[in-house]
Chain A
């Protein structure tokens, strides 16, 4: 399995600001995903990060709010824009080469 790191591991932000989360993998992977997990809830897929093209967003998530970059096969960023307290959550990067997905350690975000 790939070794996945995320930065920052946690942050406290003010409403109206933006935060960029980085995901780095130790090997090239075909697919990268971004999930959100709110307290006590299950995983919600935000988008699939596509290398060299625009991300594919799930219903309810839009590029203006969650812009994603994927410049190469080992790195991706997720930005949470114009944050509100409702964005307080754990944000997880996930990678896959075929059908098996592995998760990074997550970024715990609190918006005040």
Chain B
């Protein structure tokens, strides 16, 4: 059974710090990796996708992928209180396959 593991948190960081969110996955054939942000009472919103080993940067967000270690992370630089949300890691084998979601990490950015 495919699994995506995340620490449920909450992860508390002070405003302006770097928040580091981690995720491991069990299926070695996974090809596509995603981070979703979900504010309380709202639906998940896609914020990053990554497909190859290394780093991918988009504004204050950096996704990091290490397929050998089956590990994907999300760094949020200069964390803001508005970043406080639950972050879901998701993994897909590629193509027309359903995505497997982790249980999410709750991030709290303290002003």
Using a CB–CB cutoff of 8 Å, the interface residues on chain A facing chain B are 1, 30-31, 33, 41-43, 45, 48, 90, 92, 96, 98-106
Task: Tell whether, in the assembled complex, residue B96 and residue A98 are in contact, meaning their CB atoms are under 8 Å apart.
Answer: yes
Partner of A104, one of B43, B92, B96: B43
User: How many contacts between A and B, using CB within 8 angstroms?
Assistant: 50
> Which of A41, A99, A105 meets B92, CB within 8 Å?
A99
B11 to chain A, nearest CB (A): 16
Contact B96 A30, beta carbon cutoff 8 Å: yes
Contact bitstring B72-111, A, C-beta under 8 A = 1, else 0: 0000000000000000101010111111011110000000
Query: Which residue from A30, A42, A45, A106 sits with its C-beta under 8 Å from B104?
Result: A42
| Residues of chain A lying within 8 A (CB to CB) of residue B55 | none
Structural contact, A31 and B98, CB atoms closer than 8 A: yes
B88: contacting residue among A1, A30, A31, A42, CB under 8 A: A42
In the assembled complex, 11 residue pairs joining A and B whose CB atoms fall closer than 8 Å, in A order, are: A1-B46, A31-B96, A31-B98, A42-B101, A42-B102, A42-B103, A99-B92, A100-B34, A101-B46, A103-B36, A104-B43
State the CA gap A45–B88 with chains docked (Å): 14
Given B42, B44, B45, B94, which contacts A43 in the complex, CB threshold below 8 Å?
Answer: B44
Given A100-B34, A101-B99, A105-B42: 13 more A-B contacts, CB < 8 Å:
A1-B46, A31-B96, A31-B98, A42-B101, A43-B88, A90-B43, A98-B96, A99-B95, A100-B46, A101-B34, A101-B90, A102-B46, A106-B43
The 7 closest A-B pairs by CB, nearest first: A42-B103, A99-B32, A103-B43, A99-B92, A106-B43, A103-B44, A43-B101
Contacts of B49 in A (CB 8 A): 100
Contact of B26 with A by CB under 8 A:
no
Residues of A within 8 Å of B90, CB to CB, are: 101
Of all chain A residues, the one with the shortest Cβ separation from B103 is: A42
**Is B31 in contact with chain A by the CB < 8 A criterion?**
yes
